[in-house]
Amino acid sequence: MATGLAGAALRAHRPAFVGTAVAALFAATVVSASTMMLGTTSTHRADLPGGLSAPARRQLAENGVGDMAVVLLIGSVYMSIFVVVSTMGTAVVQQHRELAMLRSIGARPRQIRRAVAVQALAASVPAAFVGFVLGGFGARWWHAGMVDHGLLPAEASFRFSWLALPVCVGVAALTTTLAALLSSLRFSLLRPARALSEAATGRRGLGVLRAPLGVVAVAGACVVSVLLSRQPAQEAAEGAFLVLILFCAGAGLLGSRIIGPAAWLVSALIGRFGPSARLAMLNVRSQPRRFSAAVVPLVLVVGFGLTKIGMHTSARHHTGSAGGRGEVWLDYVGTGLYAGFAAIAAANTLAMISFERRRDVALLRVVGSGRAQVGAMAAWEALVVAGTALLLGTAIALGTLAPILSTAFGSALPYLPWPVPTGVVAGTLLLTLLATGIPVRAVLRRRAITVIAAT
């Protein structure tokens, strides 16, 4: 039964599982590259008589290259769970009506969870094989960069490892199964009548634990930030990452409670630019929970990226040096990887939201809205999402950097050369416009009556 349910869901909700496959592909690529780098940086190389030389071993130990690969491997596993949970969570919400009907005719909770897990595996395991191949190319680039920046001795040549293949498949199977179970657990346990009601009206409120935990996370970030502002610069820098994590966790847990007011403010500004903009404003305000699911990952991208970049650019501005050349390069690589995970989660969610609303788009066409008007409405919605993410992400970055910079340089504001904020704004806008616009354009190519009949 689970296999049949999974197959039907895959056919009916293809974009959701394309998103899961993309997330799994990115994760498998990072896992593959990290696994191969672990073999490359091993001091006991099977392909070298006696392994690496003593100076090479000393250089590896001083730079902690092997530890960095382990950290990235563990981080990629954690981030893949986060991304797939986010993607599968939206996919499960889109299936609430079907799942509720199955519960009402006798399907057991474990059958629902098993069906969702099979869906996730069907999308992620094939992607893991492709990720293994791409990871080989990524590891070669990573190896060359580490040699160029003095982090890796030249004699530690790149070593392709087939061991990365079972690791990729195993991690993909484990993380997607866990993510699928987490995303479907609550709904599968609802009584059939409650499940049908929630499928029709949507879930209201944040839950018994989620709201208090979110408040605690945000309050904790504020308290830790104040305490760090009274500590020496080195200790403040070490504790800043905790502030960033707490702020991001709070934004994720509180979701629409934080994102709703910010989106209301941004949409109020955008709503003055004509009928399409006002319609976009009303859409965002009427569905804060749906749009907050897309905003949260973008907030992580903006907050994490500005914090990491701002630390280095501010240090260079005040002292003339951002730190060791190799350490700075590796920090930017890690920041790019984690931002990539969050960007994929945001793009997946936005694309699935647009696909889910294909009937609404078709109805607008039936009542006389032109293609240009519908496209403009979708573009304004993307701008609201991007503007909200930029507003909250910047606030998180400033709150995280303030204690570090005030104790180290006497100024709480970071120094950011104009290409940095310009690039962040442009990248966020481009991501939201593409993730929203492509599904809408696909719907507009089809006859409106055909879309309505199919949904």
Structure-token pair, residue 329: 């390069």
Q: CA 429 to CA 418: how far, in whole Å? A: 17
Structure-token pair, residue 287: 């569905």
Residue that the structure tokens 């993307």 belong to: 382
**Would you give per-residue pLDDT tens digits along the chain (455 residues)?**
555 554 555 455 566 677 778 888 888 888 888 888 877 776 555 555 556 677 777 777 776 766 777 777 777 777 777 777 777 777 777 676 777 777 777 778 787 788 788 888 888 889 899 999 999 998 898 888 888 887 777 777 788 888 889 988 988 888 888 877 877 777 777 676 666 666 555 555 556 677 788 888 888 888 887 787 777 766 666 677 777 778 877 777 776 677 777 777 777 777 777 777 777 777 777 776 677 777 878 888 888 888 888 888 888 888 877 777 778 887 788 888 878 888 888 888 788 777 777 777 777 777 766 777 777 888 888 888 888 889 888 988 888 888 778 877 888 888 889 999 999 999 999 988 888 888 878 777 777 666 666 66
Length of the chain: 455
Helix (H, G, I), strand (E, B) or coil at 204: coil
Structure-token pair, residue 140: 């070669």
Count of CB atoms situated within 10 Å of the CB of 112 = 26
Helix (H, G, I), strand (E, B) or coil at 266: helix
Residue 54 corresponds to which amino acid? A
**In this predicted structure, what is the pLDDT of residue 350?**
82
Q: CA 317 to CA 265: how far, in whole Å? A: 34
Structure-token pair, residue 101: 């009907």
Inter-residue contact 37 to 143 (CB < 8 Å)? yes
Residue 401 corresponds to which amino acid? L
Q: CA 58 to CA 60: how far, in whole Å? A: 5
Q: CA 39 to CA 149: how far, in whole Å? A: 19
Q: CA 436 to CA 184: how far, in whole Å? A: 25
Structure-token pair, residue 431: 């991501």
Burial 9-27, CB ≥16 within 10 A → b, else e:
beeebebbbbbbbbbbbbb
Which pTM was predicted? 0.80
**Residue 447 — φ and ψ, nearest 5°?**
-65, 135
Q: Is the dihedral angle over the CA atoms 422, 423, 426, 428 positive or is it negative?
A: negative
Inter-residue contact 264 to 61 (CB < 8 Å)? no
